[in-house]
Amino acid sequence: MKEGPSSPVKQFNKTVGDLIGSLASYNLYKKKQFKINWPSSGRVHLLGLGKSACADLEDFLKYSQEKSSSAFELGELFVFTQEGYLNKNTNQLTKHHWSGDHPVPSERNLQNSRELLAQLAALPSQDSLLVFLSGGTSALLELPKVGHSLEEIQQLNRKLLSSEVDIYQMNRQRAELSQLKNGGLLEYFKGNWIATIISSDLPGDDPTWVGSSPTIKQGALDNPEVFTLRSYRDLIEQLKLFFPRYEVFEQPHRGSSAELITLFKENLDKYKNIIVVGEANVATTGAGRGGRCSHFVASMAAELLQRGNLPDFQLAAVATDGVDGYSGSAGAFASSQQLACDLKGLRASLAQFNSGEYLNDRGLTLRKAATGINLMDFYLLSSMD
């Protein structure tokens, strides 16, 4: 990425870093102070699943150890996260850690899942388990149902990921082929399931389908207790603090990129500065380098520049987990002045689903880095008149 020492992209990168830091797990544990019913006997084992697994589990330990008295006897720590998200601290804390491929499950993911399940099944029945669940678990934790194969699951995931199917329907379809989704993981540990602490990357107020719901059987009355550590509401709260001049909206469901652009266009005449929290699915073809965030910035810019007679504007889109699909970045930040000179090239990058490479070549992408949190994306439009 080409950026000067005081470029707007670099300044925006810093603001995003501070925003993400305000949503760190430790801060939220202190703020929310969950009332967990700890067992009176046996050890408590901790299991972290998904992109936020390391941060959520480590900060829980830090928060718990800072209290004057420990409410439980700590057992083993287990972590299964995405490749590149396992940090040095977790690596030192436990030998029971695995990394896997995302967003499409692989044979490695299945093998790692089998190893994790064997470890859980071997724990004493008088012990307890506390689970930290976050986005990315759907791809990581996987075992096909009898009669189905990894190839079927991979085909389904590729089809869903290149479509505009909303995330709830996506995870329901994934669960139809999987032993471990929709409460399936509950079968592999025979001790006491204490609770699931969820970092939700889903729209709406029901976090139970995060990670395709491995520890929550949909519709059952005897599921372990659920606590929401962070959700889009926490993100919205912080966005209003960091961007006080902006009107903040939430995308009502995980719709298409076109629907997201329509939401912006409907409010352009009312507000100069708009932020929308959501995740806009993009139906793709070809093998270009892009992601939801880079695609939005390029698409929205093309729409506005085509309209003409508009004041100069700035656009940004940020993946809170630090990884915007296949774009090689965490999102993008651009102004109308930077993109107006090559509208033809901008449109060509959209047609090839190659917005990430196009924006990166112009120094307009945000630094890629695993942030330790996994909420929804946010999209920003600011009028500069």
Q: What pLDDT sits at residue 4?
A: 44
CA distance 211 to 204: 15
24 part of a folded domain: no
pLDDT in tens, 282-295: 766 666 788 889 99
Query: Domain check: are 225 and 240 in the same one?
Result: no
Torsion, CA 230, CA 233, CA 235, CA 237, rounded to 10: -120
Query: Domain check: are 121 and 95 in the same one?
Result: yes
Q: Considering 230, 247, 281, which residue would you say is the last residue of a domain?
A: 230
DSSP secondary structure letter of residue 366: P
CA distance 150 to 118: 19
Residue-number span of the structural domain to which 113 is assigned: 34-230
Query: Domain check: are 136 and 239 in the same one?
Result: no
Q: Which two tokens stand for residue 146?
A: 């009898």
Overall number of domains in the chain? 2
Stated as kind and residue range, the H or E segment containing 265 is helix 257-267
102 part of a folded domain: yes
25 part of a folded domain: no
Q: Whole-model pTM?
A: 0.88
Q: What pLDDT sits at residue 287?
A: 66
CA distance 59 to 75: 16
Phi, psi of 117 (to 5 degrees): -60, -40
Query: Domain check: are 224 and 274 in the same one?
Result: no
For the segment 291-315, the average pLDDT, to the nearest whole number, is 88
pLDDT in tens, 57-73: 999 999 988 875 568 89
154 part of a folded domain: yes
Ramachandran area for residue 136 (φ above 0: left; ψ -120 to 50: alpha; else beta): left
pLDDT in tens, 124-158: 999 999 999 999 999 999 999 999 999 999 999 99
Q: Considering 215, 230, 245, which residue would you say is the last residue of a domain?
A: 230
Q: Which CATH number is 261's domain given?
A: 3.40.1480.10
Strand order, beta sheet including 192-199 = 97-100, 73-82, 43-49, 128-134, 192-199, 225-230
CA distance 37 to 129: 12
3 part of a folded domain: no
Q: Considering 230, 252, 287, which residue would you say is the last residue of a domain?
A: 230
Q: What pLDDT sits at residue 269?
A: 86
Q: Look at residues 65, 187, 79, 181 and name the one whose alpha carbon lies nearest to residue 130.
A: 79
For the segment 176-191, the average pLDDT, to the nearest whole number, is 96
Ranked by mean pLDDT, which of 8-17, 177-186, 344-353 comes out on top? 177-186
Query: Domain check: are 185 and 301 in the same one?
Result: no
Query: Domain check: are 100 and 119 in the same one?
Result: yes
Q: What own/partner pairs with CB < 8 Å and gap ≥ 24 does 25-33 have? A: 25/52, 25/55, 25/56, 25/58, 25/59, 25/60, 25/199, 25/229, 25/230, 25/372, 25/373, 26/59, 26/62, 26/63, 28/229, 28/230, 28/234, 29/59, 29/60, 29/63, 29/229, 30/63, 32/227, 32/229
Percentage of residues of the chain with pLDDT beyond 90 = 67
| Cβ count near 372 (within 10 Å) | 24
Q: Which CATH number is 67's domain given?
A: 3.40.50.10180
276 part of a folded domain: yes
pLDDT in tens, 364-374: 999 888 898 88
For the segment 225-229, the average pLDDT, to the nearest whole number, is 95
Asked if 317 and 277 count as a contact pair (C-beta separation under 8 A), the reply is no
Asked if 294 and 353 count as a contact pair (C-beta separation under 8 A), the reply is no
Query: Domain check: are 194 and 283 in the same one?
Result: no
Query: Domain check: are 206 and 272 in the same one?
Result: no
136 part of a folded domain: yes
CA distance 186 to 267: 45
Token look-up 């651009």 returns: 334
CA distance 57 to 198: 11
312 part of a folded domain: yes
Query: Domain check: are 145 and 245 in the same one?
Result: no
Query: Domain check: are 141 and 78 in the same one?
Result: yes
Query: Domain check: are 294 and 221 in the same one?
Result: no
Amino acid at position 385, single letter:
D
Query: Domain check: are 222 and 248 in the same one?
Result: no
